Amino acid sequence: MTPSTLRRRSAALAGAAGVLLATGAGAQAAEAGRDELPLGTIDLDGQETPVLGSFVYHQFHLDTNPEIRGLVHGVQRVEGGTVLYYSVGTPAGSSASAFAGAMAFPDSSHPYDGSHGVDLALVDTQSLAAYRPLYTSSETFTSATADLEASPGELVVGWAVFPELAADVDTVQVTMPWGTAVGDVPVGEGALKPVAQEPAPLLGEGWPEVPTADALAAADAAAVTYSLVRRTGDEEGTSTTEESPEQVAVTLDANVLFASGSADLSGDAQQVLATIAADIADRGTGEVVVTGHTDSDGSDTFNQTLSEQRASSVLNVLQPASGSGVTFTAVGRGEGDPVAGNDTDEGKQANRRVTVVYAVQGES
């Protein structure tokens, strides 16, 4: 296959609008109206080229600027790190006369080298961890933007190295510039081959050479590893959950759990509390703290007593169903710990709540 044919194949991938390339056993199919590629492998001049996801955004995140398109080809474990391989370019017919790497990335900043494409991340949504590219005082372990050059319709291959992933991580979310996400990318083993002579080859002409384990060993993985918080809520608004790798904090709407001025749980509370108890039994550890809160209506004494009673009511349902691996404490805060102003009905409603906080062990 000639270089011009290769580039036409790359253009077909970069400008995939309206074409579905079905891979496996050389099968191909076209389907109008599709802007997506399947997961799989495409044969480019005898090179098995994995396609694990695609992304589209505009230069500098402005709709009036040229469109940037690309593919994710691998998230690979190597000694000392994890390598992301991607390809990027502008589609055929783009308003840009040529593609340059600086079009695809915002200006990088300290501690990274300003001439590299670093607005990238790997996100482990199970363990709630995010990773930025590795670096040292003298080296940034990503493609230099000056190396990423191509004509419209071509895709050029870039790379970035992140910290080593835990052994049980089998998929990650890849975040490209300006938060453009490619989800559920499988994690593979070993650097992609064959290795090209160029630092940023065109797609189908090999893969960039990545740093050695000795070079990566000088980077501080902890400096580019971040804990995340997941926030979720149920459809009825009965509970909201804030989860980090270390703990879970559930906020229960007392307006749903209890009648006004009462500490008797409603029927709607039972299923919500059963779900929380099941999670505590599965992975909770240490102390579970149940805390009641009220608005400012009524006397301080009444509100303090009501908050204690409501916390105890929730504890009495959770504790028998949560197993023996945790201990429980019920606390009442009365009106003393508001999350909103008590001068509006909405603020008072937010303040009437019960929280359940517990540490977790193992995977999130």
Number of structural domains, the chain? 2
Please provide the DSSP assignment of 35-56 as one string: ----SEEEEETTEEEEE-EEEE
One domain for residues 99 and 199: yes
Helix (H, G, I), strand (E, B) or coil at 286: strand
45 with 128, same domain? Answer: yes
Co-location of 182 and 296 in the same domain? no
What CATH number is attached to the domain comprising 292?
3.30.1330.60
Task: Count Cβ neighbours within 10 Å for each residue of 205-218 and write b for 16 or more, e otherwise.
Answer: bbbbebbeeebbee
**So what's the pLDDT on residue 25?**
25
Q: Do residue 49 and residue 110 come from a single domain?
A: yes
Residues 295 and 203 in one domain: no
Q: Which of 227, 254, 270 is the last residue of a domain?
A: 227
Residues 241 and 175 in one domain: no
Classify 128 as helix, strand or coil.
coil
Q: Which of 193, 210, 227 is the last residue of a domain?
A: 227
Whether 180 and 62 share a structural domain: yes
pLDDT at 95 (0 to 100): 82
pLDDT at 362 (0 to 100)? 60
Residues 222 and 120 reside in one and the same domain: yes
Residues 212 and 324 in one domain: no
Residues 99 and 187 in one domain: yes
What pLDDT shows up at residue 237? 79
184, 210, 190, 356: which is closest to 279 by C-alpha? Answer: 356
Q: Which of 186, 206, 227 is the last residue of a domain?
A: 227
Q: Which of helix, strand or coil describes residue 241?
A: strand
pLDDT tens for the chain, 364 residues: list them: 444 444 444 444 444 332 322 232 222 322 323 345 556 888 777 778 999 999 999 999 999 999 999 999 999 999 999 999 999 999 988 888 899 999 999 987 789 999 999 999 999 998 899 999 999 999 999 999 999 999 998 999 999 999 999 999 999 999 999 999 999 999 999 999 999 999 999 999 999 999 999 999 999 999 999 999 999 988 777 899 999 999 999 999 999 999 999 999 998 888 899 999 999 999 999 999 999 999 999 999 999 999 999 999 999 999 999 999 999 999 999 999 999 999 999 999 999 999 999 999 865 4
Query: Quick one: tokens of 105?
Result: 């990335």
Whether 98 and 237 share a structural domain: no
What torsion do the CA atoms of 132, 137, 140, 145 make, to the nearest 10 degrees? 120
Cβ 114 vs Cβ 108: under 8 Å: yes
Residue 226 in contact with residue 162, Cβ under 8 Å?
no
**Burial (Cβ within 10 Å: 0-12, 13-18, ≥19) of residue 25:** exposed
One domain, residues 237 and 222: no
Reduced to 3 DSSP states, what percent helix, strand and coil does the chain have, rounded to the nearest 5? 25, 35, 45
Q: What is the pLDDT of residue 306?
A: 97
6 vs 23: CA distance, rounded Å: 17
197, amino acid identity: Q
What is the C-alpha to C-alpha distance for residues 295 and 314, in angstroms, rounded to an integer?
Answer: 18
Residue 103 belongs to domain spanning: 3-227
